[in-house]
Amino acid sequence: MSLLLILLIVLPLLASLGIMVGANPRRTALGAAIVNLVFAVILFTRYDLHSGGWQYLSEWKILPRLGINLTLGADGLTLTMFLLATLVTLSALWIAPKIEKREGLYYVCLLFISAGVIGAFASLDVLFLYSFHELALIPTFLLIGIWGSGDRQAAAWKATIYLGAGSFVLLIGLLALYLSIPSGLRTLDIRQLDQMAATGAFHPASWIYLVLLVGFGSLVSLFPFHSWAPPAYACAPAPAAMLHAGVLKKFGLYGLIRIALPLFPDAMHQFNGLLILLLIGNILYIGYVTVAQKRLDWTVGYSSVMHMGYIFLGLASLNLLGINGASLLMFAHGLSVAAAFALCGEIRRRTGTLDYAELGGLAKVTPVLGLLFGFAAMASVGLPGFANFAGEILVFFGASAYGPEMIIPVIIGVWGVVISAIYMLRAYRNIFWGPIAERWASLSDIAPTARWSVILLLLPLMVAGFYPQIILRMVGTALPR
């Protein structure tokens, strides 16, 4: 039994309990987040790369006759997601502003998101993988509806309906997967499912893959199931947007890698054309929609949806090179989009607006804020030196290796990089360059606390950008060959 792995899930819940009984919300939450990041780094660095596979295992029998047990474990991909989750959690809690109403509930919601997503990544049982994700979704709706801005109620309800429907479809797919297993072999343990599929003892129907693709895809904002995401992120408080877009959205991609790749190889080949069409919608259609946005929060929200297309392109390559790139890009995108939303929150807090028409020239009075936003923007564009660049290059190479039918999707993907540069550089110019309005002349620069919370995200992006093998060696131990 791995105590550190269990504590990764339990510690945020214990901190939430402490806040409920009267502990200082901010200090308690930050303390738990710092300790959790230390635990994640220890687990990451102690993982035995030579042995590979699942390590740090713990198991509790729940319904053994039905093959349902709470089993926790981690391999290289899981540990990479732990590192992402704990980095973004600490940054989100660190940059959170002073809360005037229901401060305790605010921090409890953020901690529950962190605990839920870490539990989902750690679960080797499909049922608990799903259940932990649902635990993380509920506080997301509360954060948008209570502490959001703009048309927050409509955004919260829209996200609730879309994600609730996507979760229901996913549950149907998982139940169908369970019922398709021969009665004497039924289990929900990912390790046993992989083994049965590898030995030919289990051949799930292809239609189940389509149901899972729709379910997981809705949670990831795969086109055309994407319209909930931009308004939810634009209206959400910055820490909630950081955690959902940066970490929780990766659950759907993680589920496809864990379940679809090993269990449905034939179905993935059969329906790969459909997936390619959908991801092109993410890259091309959503990319042009992003260019048309006139507010920074909506630009970053649509950008987050667009970049999911690159990760799906890596999955559609169906080879180790592309899937490695998709895994690295999951990590990189989580950090870069979290940094972008954190800086959105800082700009909104100082100016009260994110409308391009009302801003401009802020670099004259907030040079550090402008510099940090420039780094976040360049990471999002995929500038060399950031992990996003390394991930996208691997995705393009992996997709090119699939065959001649991938030539057009790769060309569209490269054009999408140009589109990304257009809308991010436009945002940077409209906010930080040009003449400055008189009312912004006395703005204060980003505070040291917020500055370091963003650097906490940008620094690993650059480390993994200059030396991506740190992440690739880990995720490579988890991917099917």
Buried b (16+ CB within 10 A) or exposed e, 93-117: bbbbeeeeeeebbbbbbbbbbbbbb
The phi and psi torsions of 74 (rounded to 5 degrees) equal -150, 140
In whole angstroms, give the CA distance from residue 212 to residue 416: 27
Is 153 within a domain? no
- Read off the pLDDT of residues 37-95 as tens digits, 9 standing for 90 and up: 999 999 999 999 888 889 998 888 776 666 677 889 999 999 999 999 999 999 999 99
Q: For tokens 């930080």, what's the residue?
A: 432
In whole angstroms, give the CA distance from residue 146 to residue 153: 8
Mean pLDDT of 278-296: 95
pTM of this structure: 0.95
Burial-class residue 65 by CB neighbours within 10 Å (0-12, 13-18, 19+): exposed
- pLDDT of the residue at 422: 95
Residue 211 pLDDT greater than 60, yes or no = yes
Greater confidence (151 vs 474) lies with 474
The dihedral of CA 3, 49, 255, 16: what is its sign?
A: positive
> Among residues of the chain, what percentage have pLDDT more than 90?
71
Residue 479 pLDDT greater than 80, yes or no = no
Q: How far apart are the two ends of the chain, measured CA to CA in Å? A: 28
- Read off the pLDDT of residues 395-420 as tens digits, 9 standing for 90 and up: 999 999 988 889 999 999 999 999 99
Structural domain count of the chain: 1
- Read off the pLDDT of residues 337-393 as tens digits, 9 standing for 90 and up: 999 999 999 999 989 899 998 998 999 999 999 999 999 999 999 999 999 999 999
Average predicted confidence (pLDDT) for the chain: 91
- pLDDT of the residue at 67: 62
Buried b (16+ CB within 10 A) or exposed e, 396-410: bbbbbebeeebeebb
Partners of 295 in the beta sheet? 355
Is 330 within a domain? yes
Mean pLDDT of 238-255: 93
In whole angstroms, give the CA distance from residue 402 to residue 400: 5
- Read off the pLDDT of residues 153-210 as tens digits, 9 standing for 90 and up: 888 889 889 999 999 999 999 999 988 888 777 788 888 888 888 887 778 888 999 9
Residue 306 pLDDT greater than 90, yes or no = yes
Is 329 within a domain? yes
Residues in the chain: 481
Partners of 189 in the beta sheet? 125
Task: Please say whether the beta carbons of 174 and 126 come within 8 A.
Answer: yes
CA distances to 47, 262, 425, 468 from 473, in Å? 11, 20, 33, 9
Residue 1 pLDDT greater than 60, yes or no = no
The parent domain of residue 359 ranges over: 277-481
Burial-class residue 64 by CB neighbours within 10 Å (0-12, 13-18, 19+): exposed
Partners of 59 in the beta sheet? 71
- Could you tell me the pLDDT band of residue 149, with boundaries at 50, 70 and 90? confident
Is 291 within a domain? yes
Tokens of residue 137, six digits: 């979704």
In whole angstroms, give the CA distance from residue 113 to residue 241: 11
> Which residues lie below 8 Å from residue 170, measured CB to CB, with a gap of 6+?
130, 211, 212, 215, 216, 218, 219, 255
Is 390 within a domain? yes
- Read off the pLDDT of residues 427-448 as tens digits, 9 standing for 90 and up: 999 999 988 888 888 888 999 9
Residue 481 pLDDT greater than 60, yes or no = no
Look up residue 258 and give its DSSP letter: I
